[in-house]
Amino acid sequence: MTIRRIDHVSINVNDLSAAKEFFADLGFEVTAEWEAEGEWLDGVVGLKGVRTACMALRAAEGQSWIELVKYISPADETEIQQAYANTLGFRHICLTVEDIETIVSNLKKRGTELFSEIQQYEESYKLCYVRGPEGMILELAEEIK
Query: 97 and 91 in contact (C-beta within 8 Å)?
Result: no
CA-based torsion, 95, 18, 106, 108: positive or negative: negative
Instruction: Provide DSSP, 56-108.
Output: EEE-TTSS-EEEEEEEEES---SPPP---TTSSSS-EEEEE-S-HHHHHHHHH
So what's the pLDDT on residue 141? 94
So what's the pLDDT on residue 4? 79
140, 44, 131, 49: which is closest to 98 by C-alpha? Answer: 140
Over residues 9-62, the pLDDT tens digits come to 999 999 999 999 999 989 899 999 999 999 999 999 999 999 999 999 998 777
So what's the pLDDT on residue 64? 83
Whole-prediction pTM: 0.87
CATH 3.10.180.10 fits 8-73, yes or no: yes
Give the mean pLDDT of 111-138: 92
**Bridge partners (DSSP) listed for residue 71:** 52
Q: How far from 110 is each of 21, 64, 84, 97, 105, CA to CA, in Å? A: 11, 25, 21, 18, 9
Give the mean pLDDT of 62-69: 89
Beta strands 92-96 and 119-121: pairing type?
A: unpaired
So what's the pLDDT on residue 80? 78
Integer Rg of the chain from CA: 17
Decide whether 8-73 matches 92-143 in CATH topology: yes
Give the mean pLDDT of 88-98: 89
Q: Which CATH architecture has domain 92-143?
A: Roll (3.10)
- Residue 72 or residue 83, greater confidence: 72
Residue 78 has pLDDT above 90, yes or no: no
* φ, ψ of residue 132 in degrees (nearest 5): -90, -170
Give the mean pLDDT of 105-132: 93
- Residue 77 or residue 23, greater confidence: 23
Residue 104 has pLDDT above 90, yes or no: yes
Degrees to nearest 5, angle at CA 112 with 142 and 80: 110
Domain residues of the chain, as ranges? 8-73, 92-143
